[in-house]
Structure 1
Amino acid sequence: MSLDDLADQLVAAAVTEGLHTFALSGYSLGGPVAIRAAARHPERVTALVLTATFPYRDNHLALALPLWRKLAEYLTVMALGADALEAMPAEQLQQAIGFTAASVADGTPDHAELAHRADVRDDLPHIKAPTLVISTTQDRFTSTRLHHQLAQTIPGAQLVEIHTGHLPMVERPGEWQKLITTFLAQHST
């Protein structure tokens, strides 16, 4: 599995569906894939939204990745912000663990290994698409420092913060969706 192959497959799938230009959203490990797609196919990517993602594996992520392969409960602790985690009743917490467990698919070890190797720092200055970086401020999985690095290195990137852990679509889905749809409305062609 390689970022180049995944990026090219993503673009090819969109073209097969009749989309010659399109916006891309990359969440977590999908961020480096979306970045690589935008860098390799600038004529196709009209906008880029990056949420809770990273340009390379820092030490924090290196320590978290082996655990990703093993425990849904640990992922839930890592993914949810402290406020959301502590506010959840037991039933909702079990649902969040179930959501996280469902994301631990058969290919998870391969994905964790790819995340360990992923490094798109050289691609960042070449991104031409308008870019929104959504920094999840209570993220214990990907560092907000890396979110800020993305925004500072991608030309003209806009940084916004959402007060969640690694799962803004669980903690604040309406707010997260509004950030994305507002940005895309401003940058639609």
Structure 2
Amino acid sequence: MSAHRPLAPALARTVLGSGPGLVLAHGAGSSIDNTYGPILQGLAAHHTVVGVDYPGSGDTPRATAPLDLDEMADQLIAAADAEGLETFALHGYSLGGPIAIRATARHPERVTALALSATLAHPNNRLTLILRTWGKLAAAGDRRLLTEFLLPHALSPQAMEAMPAEQFEEIIAYTAANIADGTVDHAELATRIDVHDDLADIRVPTLVISTTADHLVPPVLHHELAEKIPGAELAEILTGHLPMVERPEEWQQLITDFLAK
């Protein structure tokens, strides 16, 4: 049994489907719907999917103090508890990856499998600078400027250049309108996460999905996870940091095939 005291759920939840549990942890500046929207129904076809919106995302109010990685991890468990899931698989995307890793390390008896997409144990120097700028632009309140800064990092060059001008403008407008109010807090948390010490203790089947054209969280950081988590499987998908935009069907298939093993 876990040595950690049960935590009351404090984050807004999305719940879909039925079957074995699957808990989702979304990316920074986003929400469950914006990270997983194109694949939620597919994931829920064979699972009870539970996703939580971080402080300042979706229907969860923004935090009044800096975000704490352990508490965020425990909130994944609290959401599963609230939905009656004794055990469950975890999927973490981007910032959700280290949150899911920490949840697995803190509550190993609850997690049956771990899937990680476009994520990391700790930001490298380049990503740290991007995160600092991301946070400053978010704090300034110019959501379009923030979007114009992030998209060249988040989308693959192929996806960027394949869009006609009108579609590209629509993507910018949509993304700017959906930036989470808590983005400043998410970016700040991302600068100081470090779950390296958790990796060797992961004992559940693990899939690391590497987005091979990712200019935000580069593949070298994905490969590090696959190398340091015992027995982890590595899968690659030719996208930038946003597989839900560039290749949602392929992304969903990688996750569901792994969970079906």
TM-based fold match above 0.5: yes
Query: What's the counterpart of residue 154 of structure 1?
Result: 229
Query: What's the counterpart of residue 50 of structure 2?
Result: none
- Indicate yes or no: 2:91 matched with 1:25: yes
Query: What's the counterpart of residue 7 of structure 1?
Result: 73
User: Shift in Å at residue 106 of structure 1?
Assistant: 1.3
**Greater displacement, 126-135 / 87-96:** 87-96
CA RMSD in angstroms, aligned pairs only: 1.2
Q: TM (normalized to structure 1)?
A: 0.94
Query: What's the counterpart of residue 87 of structure 1?
Result: 162
| Higher fraction of helix | 1
Deviations 1:63-95 (A, max 9, x none): 111232321112111111111111012232233
Aligned length: 186
What 5-or-longer segments of structure 1 have no aligned partner?
A: none
Match among 123, 126, 134 for residue 68 of structure 1: 134
- Indicate yes or no: 2:107 matched with 1:38: no
Identity, % of aligned positions: 64
User: Partner letter of residue 56 of structure 1?
Assistant: H
Rg: which structure is higher?
Answer: 2
What 5-or-longer segments of structure 2 have no aligned partner?
A: 1-66, 138-145
- Indicate yes or no: 2:190 matched with 1:135: no
**Greater displacement, 131-140 / 64-73:** 64-73
Asked which structure has the greater RCO (Cα within 8 Å, sep 6+), the reply is 1
Structure 1's 135 and 85: CA in aligned 2 closer, same or farther, altered over 3 A? same
Q: Is the 8 A contact 2:114 2:205 kept in 1?
A: yes
Q: Is the 8 A contact 2:214 2:241 kept in 1?
A: yes
**Greater displacement, 57-66 / 145-154:** 57-66
Q: TM (normalized to structure 2)?
A: 0.69
Structure 1's 103 and 148: CA in aligned 2 closer, same or farther, altered over 3 A? farther
Q: SS of 1:135's equivalent?
A: strand
Q: Is the 8 A contact 2:132 2:191 kept in 1?
A: no
The 2-side partners of 1:99 and 1:129 are apart by 37
Runs of 4+ deviating beyond 4 Å: none
Q: Is the 8 A contact 2:116 2:207 kept in 1?
A: yes
Q: SS of 1:140's equivalent?
A: coil
